Amino acid sequence: EDFLQKLSTMLIKEYDIICMEDLQVKNMVKKS
């Protein structure tokens, strides 16, 4: 159970980072 919790937490963090980068890229595209 602990392992699954760690895994899901890791995935959420990774997903957050990907979303943030995706937003930054979209903003850059809008500006140019």
Which whole-number Å values give the CA distances from 11 to 6, 27, 32, in the listed order?
A: 9, 24, 32
Is pTM beyond 0.85? Reply is: no
Q: How far is CA 12 from the centre of its chain?
A: 7
Q: What is the pLDDT of residue 17?
A: 94
Confidence category of residue 32, pLDDT binned at 50, 70, 90? confident
Whose tokens are 């990774």? That residue is 14
pLDDT band of residue 31 (cuts 50, 70, 90) is confident
CA distances from 20 to 2, 4, 5 (A): 27, 24, 23
What is the model's pLDDT at position 18? 93
For residue 27, what pLDDT is reported? Answer: 92
**11-29 per-position pLDDT tens digit:** 999 999 999 999 999 999 9
